[in-house]
Amino acid sequence: MSVIAERYRAVRRAVADAADAAGRDPDDITIVAVTKNVGVAEIRQAIAAGIRDFGENRVQEFLGKYGLFPDVRWHFIGTLQSNKVKDVVGRAVLIHSVDSVDLLARIDRIASERGVVQPVLLQVNVSGEATKHGFAPEEVEDALKAAAEMGSVRVDGLMTIAPLARPEQVRWVFRGLADLFASLSALRFNGTEMHELSMGMTNDFRVAIEEGATIVRVGRAIFGK
């Protein structure tokens, strides 16, 4: 068994333990292996270990790795510039990082031209940090209303990035996103059905799962530093 396979097994155990603690089914949680700065050989080992969901932060890296490994599920999880939307739409199974209505509209237009419906998540800056992208929590309802009028983009849920701190110190961020998700899901704008909460990384995914994460983005715990 490769080192990556051993690490992935440990991550799966940790996910299962956190899910059990919260009374949840571990199978309801997707582990996205983050491949930032990860080479081709390591990705091959990860695929051999059974990983099928991968996430990339940079568009050029996303394109290269998607081209080499088109049979796995590629998520785009980094900041997406408007002029790079064309490179990601139709390739990413999920864009996690939609942070403006203008970006939503751009994705919708490109997806419409290509005859696809692009699943996305709205990135929410729950912590209010100036260094983080995302909608303010009070802006998300209007973004959902705008998305509901677009025919080629589908909002599947919400995403956030917590501050780098001890896990218990950022629990409030995950709880805040989960509360926002619950309140907005009940509104179902134009039939919109959100079902994904992407939150939690290597440092804090256990707490995120306890607060309702359905997707965790894990890089270092799988691939090492």
| Res 196: pLDDT | 97
Predicted confidence band at 1 (pLDDT cuts at 50, 70, 90)?
Answer: confident
Question: pLDDT, tens digit, for every residue of 191-220?
Answer: 678 999 999 999 999 999 999 999 999 999
Do residues 173 and 127 make contact, with C-beta atoms less than 8 angstroms apart?
yes
| Res 131: pLDDT | 82
- Could you give the 3-state DSSP secondary structure of residue 98? strand
HSE-CB for 186 with a 13 A CA cutoff:
5
Give the C-alpha distances (Å, rounded to integers) separating 189 from 30, 146, 179, 185: 26, 9, 17, 8
Tell how far CA 224 is from the center of its chain: 20
H helices, E strands: number in the chain: 9, 8
| Res 175: pLDDT | 97
Q: Please check the confidence at residue 167 and state whether its pLDDT lies above 80.
A: yes
Residue located via tokens 């959902």: 144
Which residue from 84, 179, 165 is spatially nearest to 124, judged by alpha carbons?
179
Q: Return the sign of the alpha-carbon dihedral for residues 189, 192, 193, 194.
A: negative
Q: What is the mean pLDDT of residues 128-132?
A: 83
On average, the pLDDT of the chain sits at 95
Predicted confidence band at 127 (pLDDT cuts at 50, 70, 90)?
Answer: confident
| Res 58: pLDDT | 96
Domains in the chain, CATH or no CATH each: 3-223 (3.20.20.10)
Predicted confidence band at 190 (pLDDT cuts at 50, 70, 90)?
Answer: low
